[in-house]
Amino acid sequence: MCRGLLWLLLVALSHQAWAQPYDSLLTALQRSKTDTLTIHLYHQLAGKTTPENVDRALVYEDSALHIAKRIKSPKHISITLTNIGSIYRNRSEYTKACSYFKEAVNASPPLSPWLADTYLEAGISLLRITELDSAMQILQQGVSLVQQHPNGSVEAALYNAMGNVKREQNQYKEASALYFQSLKLFEAQKDLKGQTQALSNISNIHNLIGDVDKALEYAKQSLETAKMAGIKSSIAYSYRLLGRIYRNQKKPDEALKAYDEAIHMYTELQARREIGETELSIGNIQYDKGSFPEAILHYKHSLSVGKSLSDTFMTAFAHLNTANALLMTKDYRHAEAYIDTAIVLAEKKNLVNIRMDSYALRSEIYEAEGNYKLSLSNYRTYINIRDSVEREQHRQEAKEIEAKFQSEKKDDAIQLLNAENALKANQQSYLLVILVLLLVLAIILYSRYQVKLKANEKLKELDLVKSKFFTNISHEFRTPLSLILGPLEKKLSNGDHGAEMESFKLMHRNARRLQHLINQLLDLSRLESGNMELHLEVSDLAQTLRYIGSSFSSLAERKGIFYTQHIPEVFTGCYDRDKVEKIVNNLLSNAFKFTPEGGLVNFRAEVMNGLLTIEVKDSGIGIPQDQQKNIFNRFYQVDDSATRSSEGSGVGLSLAKELAEFHRGKLSVTSSEGIGSVFTVVIPVTRETFAGVPVKEPLLVNDPPATSGELALPVLAIHGDESKPFVLIAEDNPDMQKFVVELLQDRYRTLSVLNGVEAYDRAQALVPDLVISDWMMPGMDGRTLCEKLKTTEATSHIPVLMLTARADQSSKLEGLETGADDYLIKPFDTGELVTRIHNLIEQRKKLRQLFSRELILQPKQIALPSRDADFLLRLHALVEEKYEHPDFSVEELCLEIGMSRMQLHRKVKALTDQSPGEFLRIFRLERAKQLLTDTGLQVSEVCLKVGYNNLSNFSKIFREYAGVTPSEFLAETKK
Ligand code: ADP
């Protein structure tokens, strides 16, 4: 706000100052309080300075510049520099003027509005020194500036100056167009002075091209306009123009009339320069007319004006023309003097044309004087100058051509660059469009992905709910199914061959199928929910496969299918038994299902490079080529018609494939319709493949040392060496029996029997370390067997492990009530079976190792199962009763206790870890120690008392047992 007011004030003051005459300006300057006002006042003063006092004008402008620099105002610095340049331009010192204009441009930020004048002035100056291209360039800069900061009168002046440049370049058409443009702008500005200028320029062009009529027409228009405006300088200029045209029209009198009018006007205006110029023109016309003395008068007038204005050009030109006229009057001496001065001035200010013409004239003067030598030398100088001028012109032309070429090249480069930029811009815009499109696409895809993700999540949730429900419901199916299967199996195992038997068998078969299907579905849902785990073990894979394979033998027999099995003797692998069983079972049952009577089924397996390859080949119905890819899909069946011959659910193969893949393997098929199929499973079975998955270690059983050589009973079909614990297996299913035997035979001696009765008999005879019994057996079932074993003295101590096919709580209780020590539900985990057996046997072993001596001497004090305690007490009592008799032996003990030597041996060994013989010996020796300590009896007496006849034998045996002889023992106890 404050700044705005200050500005208005300044403008007002400066206007006031402008209106003021010179003296009052000086007064105002003295009173000026602000720097900017002072600067303005200095400009006004310089502007008002008469041409003769240009130096004073320069002083004013210098003062203004000083202040402008002090207040660091680029605008005022620039304006002042421009003003100084203009002063030099008016003095025709164009080069110097140009350096100021350049400085002015540099002092201001580019495109500052006040620079318009600077460009105009610089353009005019460059024009004067015929730097036409530069002039044009700078004038164009001025035009671009005023287009941004409109300034109509300057713009018109710029076009006008540009027209002048074009005129100098002899491009009259362009020049004329520019003048017209200038005229239009001046008209718009209602600038009559400008209009007359433009009109006279147009006229001048017409004059130059020889269209004198048109030239005259415009010159007259110019004059009229000038008169209308009452601008004397313009009127005078128009007259001068008319004078020139008339001279061209060879109408010297009319020309003189026009020049006279001009002189009249200029005199009124005290425009001395113009008077000088006009005087020259008048002199020329007089010269044309042959009125040389008249001409000389006018030239001399011009000369004095030039001198007074310090205008060297005008002065030199006037001298030249005067000399020329003097030559015509044959006044050689004066002519010589004038021409000498012209030459000096021209050389001083480097006015080449004047210099050249002057030498030519001097040559003429000397020639006229008869001084040919000087004439010649001057002529030569003239020729030299002319040549150099021509050269300079050529150079200039060449320069211009080169400049033109360069600028064309530049234009081309610019165009190329523009084209490139346009291309780049195009490319960029294409790129941008592509980017935008990509972005839009990405957004669309992303949102679709999000929607999908959400849908997937929902589906996953649904799936989870579904498979949870599925799992729950499958479990729910399992319980009632077991309750159906249990009584059914009991009924079937009774061996009752009633009329309903076939129906029961049918029910049993279908319940089993249902159970199988449910188990398969449960496996699938486990796989799907990610709850399936690999239960790896390292064991004999061949054995496992043989067991699975042989379980199909009876089916093969029933169906009349020729079944062969090729499995290597032995190979150990790291694998999940359950998964392998399920895969192979499925493939084999399919092979049997889809192979008609008389067909072939081959089951082979081999291990190579840690890969187990199982091949199940059949000569069955085969699978059509186009169906082969589908058979691994869930619930897919090749023949799903209601009339199909084989039953099935379409789950088996998909489960088998998924299990194979879960085992990091593959299941594939090759098949030809009507010929048969080959299913191939390849799974890795090395530990390294399953790095990171826990592997169940094979059990390392510490075999108990051989303790008895007394085993005398004939034992048939007992596998394994005698140092190993002995396990009796009662299992009616031969496959299962074989399987368990193969599972245990490395660590135990085994004997397997097919029914309860035989199991009981064998247990009686052989008193095994453990009995494994199936729950369901023909004849005597597991429950009865267990009961009988536990109630028979010889076998009551034997741990019994029950295998039951049912998971229901009631059979578990039943199993334990019978005194079974442990039970497992079929199908059981093989590792678990081995562990349970190991635990039961170890428990007993530890117990008897801990209490063996006490069990012999004080069985009452050891907490034992009642039956075992009873036996030991009876044994103890018998020995107590008979030990004194030297004839009392193990044989007598067997008879007294009612057991075979074998039974007694196994039983006593099992309970006390000693054989009966050892039992008796320890008893006697312990009693001897007691007698030696407590009674004061002699060693020989004690020897007899504990049933030894031979003293030395007694002593030897005593020392072996106690580490000292009886006498030493006695001596020690006496101490
Ligand atoms: P299913 O319970 O029907 O046997 P699977 O998934 O085990 O279900 O088998 C899918 C289908 O693949 C079967 O229905 C049968 O059409 C075909 N298939 C499987 N094994 C054989 C085979 N050994 N010979 C011919 N067709 C077979």
What band does 140 get if pLDDT is binned at 50, 70 and 90? very high
The CATH architecture of the domain made up of 726-842 is 3-Layer(aba) Sandwich (3.40)
- 3 state DSSP class of 825: strand
| Gap from CA of 806 to ligand 1 centroid (Å) | 29
Pick the residue whose CA is nearest to atom 25 on ligand 1: 622
Determine which of 21-35, 447-461, 581-595, 861-875 has the lowest per-residue pLDDT on average: 861-875
Cα atoms in the Cβ-side hemisphere of radius 13 Å centred on 245: 27
d(CA 643, CA 658): 29
Counting from 1 in the atom list of ligand 1, the atom nearest the Cα of 654 is: 6
The total of other beta-carbon atoms located within 10 Å of residue 545's CB is 23
Interval 888-945: pLDDT, tens: 888 888 888 888 888 888 888 888 888 888 888 988 988 888 888 888 788 888 888 8
Is the pLDDT assigned to residue 647 strictly greater than 80?
no
Q: Decide whether 191-270 matches 271-389 in CATH topology.
A: yes
Protein fold of 191-270: 1.25.40
| Mean of per-residue pLDDT scores for the chain | 82
For the ranges 468-472, 615-619, 774-778, the maximum mean pLDDT occurs at 615-619
* Residue 599 CB less than 6 A away from ligand 1: no
What does each C-alpha distance from 318 to 56, 346, 575, 655 come to in angstroms?
A: 27, 11, 126, 123
What band does 391 get if pLDDT is binned at 50, 70 and 90? confident
Counting from 1 in the atom list of ligand 1, the atom nearest the Cα of 618 is: 23
Res 572: pLDDT: 85
* Residue 650 CB less than 6 A away from ligand 1: yes
Is the pLDDT assigned to residue 114 strictly greater than 50?
yes
* Residue 618 CB less than 6 A away from ligand 1: yes
* Residue 591 CB less than 6 A away from ligand 1: yes
Counting from 1 in the atom list of ligand 1, the atom nearest the Cα of 653 is: 6
- Comparing 362 with 715, the larger pLDDT belongs to 362
Res 169: pLDDT: 86
Is the pLDDT assigned to residue 180 strictly greater than 90?
yes
Is the pLDDT assigned to residue 718 strictly greater than 60?
no
Is the pLDDT assigned to residue 1 strictly greater than 80?
no
Counting from 1 in the atom list of ligand 1, the atom nearest the Cα of 636 is: 10
* Residue 592 CB less than 6 A away from ligand 1: no
User: What does DSSP assign to residue 829?
Assistant: P
Q: Which of 623, 626, 645, 651 to mutate to test the pocket of ligand 1 (most atoms within 8 A of CB)?
A: 623
Region 724-748: mean pLDDT is 83
Interval 519-539: pLDDT, tens: 888 788 788 777 788 888 888
Protein fold of 271-389: 1.25.40
Interval 115-128: pLDDT, tens: 999 999 999 999 88
How far is residue 737 CA from its own chain's centroid? 61
The total of other beta-carbon atoms located within 10 Å of residue 872's CB is 23
CA dihedral 21, 25, 31, 36 (to 10 degrees): 130
Q: Which residues contact 259 (CB under 8 A, 6 or more apart)?
A: 239, 240, 243, 278, 281, 282, 285
Counting from 1 in the atom list of ligand 1, the atom nearest the Cα of 620 is: 24
Is the pLDDT assigned to residue 40 strictly greater than 60?
yes
- 3 state DSSP class of 265: helix
- 3 state DSSP class of 821: coil
Pick the residue whose CA is nearest to atom 7 on ligand 1: 652
CATH annotation of 849-974 = 1.10.10.60
d(CA 461, CA 472): 16
d(CA 198, CA 241): 12
Interval 186-207: pLDDT, tens: 998 888 888 988 998 999 888 8
What band does 619 get if pLDDT is binned at 50, 70 and 90? very high
d(CA 342, CA 345): 5
- The two structure tokens encoding residue 378: 């001057």
Interval 850-866: pLDDT, tens: 766 666 666 666 666 66
Counting from 1 in the atom list of ligand 1, the atom nearest the Cα of 621 is: 25
* Residue 621 CB less than 6 A away from ligand 1: yes
Pick the residue whose CA is nearest to atom 8 on ligand 1: 650
Is the pLDDT assigned to residue 734 strictly greater than 80?
no
Model confidence, pTM: 0.40
* Residue 299 CB less than 6 A away from ligand 1: no
3-state secondary structure 271-295: CHHHHHHHHHHHHHHHHHHCCHHHH
What band does 285 get if pLDDT is binned at 50, 70 and 90? very high
Kindly state the percentage of the chain with pLDDT values over 90: 28
Is the pLDDT assigned to residue 518 strictly greater than 70?
yes
How far is residue 835 CA from its own chain's centroid? 53
* Residue 620 CB less than 6 A away from ligand 1: yes
What band does 808 get if pLDDT is binned at 50, 70 and 90? very low
Provide the residue type at 551 as one letter.
S
The domain ranges of the chain are 191-270, 271-389, 469-530, 533-696, 726-842, 849-974
Res 400: pLDDT: 63
d(CA 911, CA 97): 136
Determine which of 393-397, 601-605, 775-779, 877-881 has the lowest per-residue pLDDT on average: 393-397
* Residue 652 CB less than 6 A away from ligand 1: yes
Res 667: pLDDT: 94
Q: Which of 589, 619, 653 to mutate to test the pocket of ligand 1 (most atoms within 8 A of CB)?
A: 653
Is the pLDDT assigned to residue 730 strictly greater than 80?
yes
| Gap from CA of 583 to ligand 1 centroid (Å) | 13
Region 70-89: mean pLDDT is 92
- Describe the crossing of helices 901-912 and 866-882 by its angle, rounded to 10 degrees: 110
H or E segment at 792? none
3-state secondary structure 1-67: CHHHHHHHHHHHHHHHHHHCCHHHHHHHHHHCCCHHHHHHHHHHHHHHCCHHHHHHHHHHHHHHHHH
- Comparing 531 with 593, the larger pLDDT belongs to 593
| Gap from CA of 589 to ligand 1 centroid (Å) | 9
* Residue 649 CB less than 6 A away from ligand 1: yes
**In what side-by-side order are the strands of the sheet with 572-576?**
572-576, 536-540, 695-696
Query: 242 near 223, Cβ under 8 Å?
Result: yes
Q: Cis omega before residue 827 (within 30°)?
A: yes
Interval 350-383: pLDDT, tens: 888 899 999 999 999 999 988 888 899 999 999 8
Query: Is domain 533-696 in CATH 3.30.565.10, yes or no?
Result: yes
* Residue 648 CB less than 6 A away from ligand 1: yes
- Comparing 100 with 453, the larger pLDDT belongs to 100
State how beta strands 676-684 and 726-730 pair: unpaired
Determine which of 86-90, 399-403, 551-555, 657-661 has the lowest per-residue pLDDT on average: 399-403
Interval 650-705: pLDDT, tens: 888 999 999 999 999 999 999 999 899 999 999 999 988 888 888 875 433 333 33
Res 646: pLDDT: 61
d(CA 48, CA 815): 138
Interval 551-581: pLDDT, tens: 787 788 888 899 998 988 888 889 998 899 8
